[in-house]
Amino acid sequence: MRTRLIVGGLAAALVTARALQTERSAPPRESRIPVGKASLFSREVGRGQPVIVLHGGPDFDHGYLLPDLDRLAGAFRLIYYDQRGRGRSADHVQPEEVTLASDVDDLDKVRQHFHLESPVLLGHSWGAVLALEYAVRHPERVSRIILMNPAPASASDFALLRKAYVQKLGADMDRQKEIMAGAAYREGDPEAVAARYRLHFKPALKRPEDYEKLMAKMKAGFTSQGKDRIVKARAVEDRLMRDTWQADGYNLLPKLRTLTIPTLVISGDHDFIPGEIAAHIAGGNSERSAGHSQKLRTLHLSRVCWRRSKRFQRLLSAYACDRAATLIARRGGKGLDLSLLTLSAGSVLEIRWPCGCEVRLIISACQKVQLVIR
């Protein structure tokens, strides 16, 4: 699996950012995609290379990703959809009908509906797992994969997440359990659900203003969703967890070794999903067989933040379009330009500033890189 791993100050997709102007893009286009007795709500925006966006949860819909990811609409044709049983794709769906297999099949129906041969898949959190499950089944139907704050790809990594999550929440974990045990939360009351997620996401965003804007957005989403859809989406989540993280021996990691699809893995240093989980997906873990011949390319950049500028857009644009990427970190100090520097396998380049900014570049296969730091 050819991968790059970016570790930086990203609260990937869970931050509020100023939407970039996309005058060249057409207005969003909405449609319904038939899937059995139900249909999937889709939203399409932008022009260019097609990117199917897979939301997280698994009980969320795509709304929390907006307007942040729309910043890419000036260069890409973004296709969002609410997964079956969630958001505006909940009507005429019974939770027991939704499985990991049906989610994978639905993703293929989305691809077919838009007449796409091999789109880019961009998955956030649970959406990253769905993207990988689809890719191992249909590698010829995916051109590139972008994984933002990926959820665990194995039962053992899910246990690692649970342990880290409890430690990170501290006393808020007990308060969250109290809310979840209450009748209002069990019945899907939007106020109670929003109160739970205030605790859930509290440690995941560094800047208080980002946190408050996200909470306002999510609370509005829960209110719009309503009790019945919230409860249905929660039941769907339980069903999908039984198919994945709660299943005995669930481990997608060995299958990823067979993939040759270029994959960008992004993990945030303030996320409650441990960075090791992203590293395992990227392939930089002890479970990777020593005899695996695929050349792994792993790149670490500390404290690169996408929410404040076009840097994140440039990175994804360059990666998805198969162009040489220019990665930019701005934390003061003098500029440094390493243009097409050739580094041999196993070499490590570390750059530090007095202000504490640090960039560490690890090369696992001999290659040329372009790194610009200003």
Q: Residues 44-99: pLDDT tens digits?
A: 999 999 999 999 999 999 999 998 899 889 889 999 999 999 999 999 999 999 99
CA nearest 235: which of 99, 102, 130, 95?
95
**CATH 3.40.50.1820-classified regions of the chain:** 1-312
User: Which residue blocks in the chain are alpha helix, DSSP H?
Assistant: 100-113, 126-137, 155-169, 171-181, 183-186, 190-200, 208-243, 253-256, 275-282, 311-320
Q: Is the pLDDT of residue 346 over 70?
A: no
- Could you write out the DSSP letters of every residue in 39-53? EEEEEEE--SEEEEE
Contact present, 4 and 266 (Cβ < 8 Å): no
Q: What pLDDT score does 265 carry?
A: 87
**Cα–Cα distance between 7 and 262 in angstroms, integer?**
17
Residue 271 burial (C-beta neighbours within 10 Å; 0-12, 13-18, 19+): buried
Compare 207 and 40 and report the one with higher pLDDT. Answer: 40
Contact present, 123 and 252 (Cβ < 8 Å): no
Query: CA triplet 44, 132, 160: central angle to 5 degrees?
Result: 120
Query: Model pTM?
Result: 0.76
What residues contact 23, with CB distance under 8 A and at least 6 apart? Answer: none
If one counts every other C-beta atom within 10 angstroms of the C-beta of residue 320, the result is 24
Reading the block at residue 66, the tokens are: 């907006």
Q: What pLDDT score does 294 carry?
A: 30
What percent of the chain has pLDDT above 90?
55
What percent of the chain has pLDDT above 70?
69
3 state SS of 6: strand
Residue at 179: amino acid letter = I
Is the CATH number of domain 1-312 3.40.50.2300?
no
Residues 104-159: tens digit of each pLDDT: 999 999 999 999 999 999 999 999 999 999 999 999 999 999 998 899 999 999 99
Query: Among 178-182, 231-235, 270-274, 325-329, which stretch is predicted with the lowest mean pLDDT?
Result: 325-329
Reading the block at residue 73, the tokens are: 């609409």
Contact present, 339 and 361 (Cβ < 8 Å): no
User: Which residue blocks in 189-294 are alpha helix, DSSP H?
Assistant: 190-200, 208-243, 253-256, 275-282
Contact present, 240 and 158 (Cβ < 8 Å): no
**Cα–Cα distance between 331 and 10 in angstroms, integer?**
15
Q: Give the total residue count for the chain.
A: 374
